[in-house]
Amino acid sequence: MGRNKVFLHLVFVLLLFLLTGCWDDVELEDRAFISGVSIDLAEEQGENTTFELMEQLVVPSGLGSTTEAGGGKAYRNLSQTGESLYEINSAISRQANRDITIDHVELVIISQDLARQDGLFNDVIDVFIRQQQMRRGILLAIAEEKAKDLLSIETEHAKIPAQYISELTENRQVPITTSPVRIGDIQESMLNNRSFVVPLLSIYKDNSVNYKGLAIFQGKSSKMVGTLLGKEAKGFNYVLGKEQQGSVTTKVEGDQTTFILAGGTSKIKLLNKDKDQLRFQVDIDVDARLTEYFGELDFYSKGVKEKFKTTLEDKVKKDAEDALKKLKDELQVDAFQFDIFLRSHHYNLWKEVKDDWDHGKNYFSKSDITVQVNANILEPGNSFRVKKKEGEE
């Protein structure tokens, strides 16, 4: 009995060694985390489309810790060309000394050339949606030129270019941006044949990336069909009622005036039910603060305030109408997603038009959209002028 007990205990102790064994065990030190991926069309094309994939791996020693600055570069870029993205990934792992881990991909950049090709964009997205380790929260951006160049810029605030760019897409100081676009959102839009926008980035200088505007994708063909830059992108956001932040510069009685938008909303109304000529009305509300004014008018008089208000309203209205014109008449793509409004509030009508909304018969481009703006100037700023009016003592 006593001997048996000793034997049993011995077995238990030995079993403990088995507990630590694990097939999937990869030490943290042996992993290389990908933080960003860029996908381009390769320069030399084979029979099938050849991609050039670049993975940005984090080099932890370059990152340093909170108390100690890291030395050297914090990232390493590896790239390969091939026909299947997953195969390229395997090819890249042959170059890496560590186990490449895709769980932490933060950002995917796709070049404009690739996005404009027929049927390639959804193939690329498919990989990121299907892979179990990938997350639906991966951010997506379109590069105006080569996507891989964006991952090679010399960053300063952030140690890793991919991190810098993903933070950039989340920075909302400028009104030409859209909220960060996640891969999951793209899948939802594409499943519904809904058109959508993706941030469009370009290289500004060696050390900075410029948030240039928005890339427009048509849902049906899921390829990029155009861009909205500068004012058009602002107008786009006015219509959406989202991201209404940033500045608007206009002229009041010939003097340059800049407003800062403090937010706002928009509301879509459908005025008739004739599907061949739908009439929408978009009511835009914006709140603004005056931030820069070169003229000499007195804000505390009601008439003057009214004047500023109408000027701002006209300006916002013009931008919104320009964006509508470009998307509706020129590109004929409903990136505003008016169809969501129809689906949610006019379901029966939506069922009739959904198969030919912004493609085929294109009811969207046949529709008529009017814009009404209501601006509210919240405050005139801390001090009214820096110089006295002429003639005043």
Partner 1 sequence: MSTFKYADDKIKTRDIMIAVPSMVIAVGILAFPRLLSEVTFSSDGWVAILLSGLVAVIFTWAVAKIAANFPNQSFFTYASFLVSKPIAVILVVLFSIQGITLTAFEVRAITDISHQYLFQETPMQIISLTFLLVVVYAVSGSRAGIFRLNVLFMPIIFVTTVILVLFSIGYMEVKNILPVLKTDVDGYMQGTLQSALSYTGIGVLFFYISLVRNPKKAPRMAAFGMSGAVVIYMLIYLTCIAVFGQSATEVIRFPFVELAKTVEIPGGFFERLESIFFVIWIMAIFTTTVMAFDATIFALNSIFPKVKKIKLVFTLTPFIYLIALFPNNYLETDTFGDFVSYYGWGLSITVLILLWIMYKVKGAKKSGKK
Question: What residue ranges bind partner 1 (CB under 8 A)?
Answer: 22-24, 132, 135-137, 184, 187-188, 191-192, 337, 340, 343-345, 347
- Rank residues 145 and 185 by Cβ distance to partner 1 and give the closer one: 185
CB 248 within 8 A of CB 314: no
Nearest to 239 by CA among 278, 180, 281, 193: 281
CB 342 within 8 A of CB 353: yes
Residue 266 CB, nearest approach to partner 1 (Å): 14
Dihedral sign, Cα of residue 175, residue 250, residue 268, residue 220: negative
Nearest to 209 by CA among 245, 155, 170: 155
The label of the residue with tokens 């029966």 reads: 348
Residue 238 CB, nearest approach to partner 1 (Å): 19
Residue 166 CB, nearest approach to partner 1 (Å): 11
- Rank residues 170 and 292 by Cβ distance to partner 1 and give the closer one: 170
What residues have CB less than 8 Å from 222, skipping those under 6 apart?
A: 119, 121, 122, 190
Residue 220 CB, nearest approach to partner 1 (Å): 14
Residue 347 CB, nearest approach to partner 1 (Å): 5
119 φ/ψ angles, rounded to the nearest 5 degrees: 65, 10
Residue 348 CB, nearest approach to partner 1 (Å): 9
- Rank residues 19 and 386 by Cβ distance to partner 1 and give the closer one: 19
- Rank residues 13 and 22 by Cβ distance to partner 1 and give the closer one: 22
- Rank residues 23 and 300 by Cβ distance to partner 1 and give the closer one: 23
Q: How far apart are CA 374 and CA 285, in angstroms?
A: 5
Nearest to 10 by CA among 2, 31, 108: 2
**DSSP characters over 53-83:** EEEEEE-HHHHB-SSSB--S-SEEEEEEEES
- Rank residues 134 and 200 by Cβ distance to partner 1 and give the closer one: 134
- Rank residues 135 and 318 by Cβ distance to partner 1 and give the closer one: 135
Residue 72 CB, nearest approach to partner 1 (Å): 25
One-letter amino acid for residue 272 of the chain: N
